Amino acid sequence: MSGLASGDESPWLPPYELEEIRSKVPMVYVEAIPVRLNADGSLALIGTLLRINGAGLQRSFVAGRVLYQESLREALVRHLEKDLGELALPRLSPTLVPFAVNEYHPTPGFGFHDARQHAVSLAYVVVIDGDVAPCDDALDFSWFTPQQATDPMLHLDMEPGHAYLLRKLLADSGIS
């Protein structure tokens, strides 16, 4: 990570400072939808993580905060390695144009809800060429075919913002 100059403090904020900043400034996040492609470039598989959070067991995509002086590319790689393991071998686009932008609000009824903060998330579709081994707080990782990913029950098991991203990916891929 290129981020901080030598001798600077950690880019991680103490919890009390993070809470204070979250109450005043939108946070920037990256989200990554792991996929595998067919030889013709069409969507073959979509990957989801299984996690425990305040709502219980939920499916989600890779997601996390961008640190101070960290590039979007660095943040994506860090979160992909943290959640999928070092052998996942993500293939990032050279231009890093987001697939979607999600906005999360602490007040219900204004876009997606995140009780902790107002956040803006840049979402990317990321081709995974290697082997996935769920890490960090992920309990499991599963690949779904596009047809399996249309199942409304899967969408109900996902974090709301991530269910939206899954539906958008399927629609953009011509799958209903």
Mean pLDDT computed over 34-59: 93
Give the pLDDT of residue 108.
84
Number of domains in the chain: 1
Tell me: the pLDDT tens digits for 86-95? 999 999 999 9
Q: pLDDT-based confidence at 70, cuts 50/70/90? A: very high
Tell me: the pLDDT tens digits for 97-127? 999 999 988 888 877 888 888 899 999 999 9
Q: Which CATH number goes with the domain that contains 55?
A: 3.90.79.10
Check if the beta carbon of residue 49 is closer than 8 Å to that of residue 140: yes
Cα end-to-end span (Å), the chain: 40
Q: Is residue 7 part of a domain?
A: no
3-state secondary structure of 166: helix
Percent of the chain with pLDDT over 90: 67
| Per-residue pLDDT at 1 exceeds 60 | no
| Per-residue pLDDT at 6 exceeds 70 | no
User: In which element (H, E) is residue 17 found?
Assistant: helix 15-22
Q: Is residue 153 part of a domain?
A: yes
Q: Is residue 58 part of a domain?
A: yes
Q: Is residue 57 part of a domain?
A: yes
Mean pLDDT computed over 27-56: 94
Q: Domain span at residue 128?
A: 17-172
Q: Is residue 8 part of a domain?
A: no
Tell me: the pLDDT tens digits for 147-164? 999 999 999 999 878 999
Give the pLDDT of residue 161.
86
Mean pLDDT computed over 133-153: 94
| Per-residue pLDDT at 60 exceeds 80 | yes
Q: Is residue 3 part of a domain?
A: no
| Per-residue pLDDT at 5 exceeds 60 | no
Instruction: For residue 28, list its beta bridge partners.
Output: 120
| pTM as predicted | 0.85
Tell me the average pLDDT of the chain: 90
Give the pLDDT of residue 8.
57
User: In which element (H, E) is residue 55 found?
Assistant: none
How many CB atoms lie under 10 A from the CB of residue 168? 16
Q: Is residue 6 part of a domain?
A: no
Q: Is residue 155 part of a domain?
A: yes
